Amino acid sequence: MKPSYADAPYADSDRLSPGDFQRLAEFINSYSGIKMPASKRLMLEGRLRRRLRATGIASFADYCDHLFEGAGLETEALYLIDAVTTNKTDFFREPTHFDALTRTVLPDLQNRGHNSLRIWSAACSIGAEPYTIAMVCADYAETQAAGPLKTFILATDLSSDVLRAARHGVYPAAMVAPVPPNLRRRYMRGSASDRAQARIIPELRAMVGFARLNLMDETYPVGDPMQIIFCRNVLIYFDKPTQYAVLDRLCQRLETGGYLFLGHSESVTGFDLPIRAVGGTIFQKT
C-alpha cells in the first residue's frame, strides 16, 4: 500500500499549516472557481512541494509570504493554478455525446444552412476532447452527400502547461486505445521519436486553435458566436452560484439553435437559462 502524505517524514515546519492552506484556498477559489475544502489540504501540500523545489523556497510559510505579502503572486499565480488543476481527460470520453454529434447535431446544423461551424471545447486539458471532436467532424464531412462542412474548433484551458501538451498532439498509445481503429488509421501516425506514442496528423491539428481562457472571467473573448460548445466535467468543481454564472456566460457565446454539451454528472436544474434539454446532458439554445 502506498503511504499517504500524512505518513511522510516531514517536520511540522515543512507542512502546510491550516492558516496558509486557507489563504491559498481562498485565492484558488477566487481565481479559478475551484473549491478547496479542508479535506484537500494534504493533496495541495503534495502538489506544491514541486513548486517549492522549483522556486528554491524553503517552506510553505515562506511560499505563502512570497505570494501574498511580497510581489510573487504576479508571476507565480499561473504555476500555482497549474499545480492544483485536475486534468482528467480521454479520447471519446462519454461516447454517447459523439454519437449524438454525428447522428443529430451536425445533420441539424447542416440542414439549417451551416456549412461552416465554430465549436468551442472549454477546459480542453491536453487536447483529447477537441481532437476527438475534430475526428468526428472530419469523418462526418467525408461521408456526407450534403456538401462540404468546414469546421474550426477553439480549445481553451486555464492551465498553460496542458495547452503546451495539447498543441504538440502526441499521446501514449494506451491513451488512444478508445479511438475507433478506422479513425486511428486516418487521423493518427506513430511518433517519429517513440513508437509507443501516436501523433495527431497535421491536417487535423490545423482544425484546432488553442488559447488560454479562465472561465471565471466576466467575459469570454472567443469571437463570433459558437454553434456548439463542449464544457464537460468542469462545473462539478464549482459551487452553485459559480456554475450558474459560467453557464450564463457560455449561453451568451452560443448562437440561437446551437448546442451545449455538459458532463454526465452535471445539471442545469434550478437555473434560469435559455436552453432546453435535447438528450443526455445535451442542450439547445432557445
Which letter, b or e, does each residue of 1-31 get, where b requires 16 or more Cβ atoms within 10 Å of its Cβ? Answer: eeeeeeeeeeeeeebbbeebbeebbebbbeb
Alpha-carbon Rg for the chain, nearest whole angstrom, is 21
Per annotation, catalytic residue among 23, 47, 184, 186 = 47
Residues 6+ apart with CB under 8 A from 1: none
* Residue 224 among the catalytic residues: no
Q: How much helix, strand and coil, in percent to the nearest 5, is found in the chain?
A: 45, 20, 35
7 is catalytic: no
Residue 276: all three cell numbers together: 432546453
Locate 231 and state its grid cell.
464544457
Residues sharing a CB contact under 8 Å with residue 73, sequence separation 6 or more, in sequence order: 27, 67
- Write down the catalytic residue from 157, 205, 232, 253: 157
Query: Which residue from 130, 154, 150, 131 is spatially nearest to 142, judged by alpha carbons?
Result: 150
- Please list the active-site residues: 47, 157
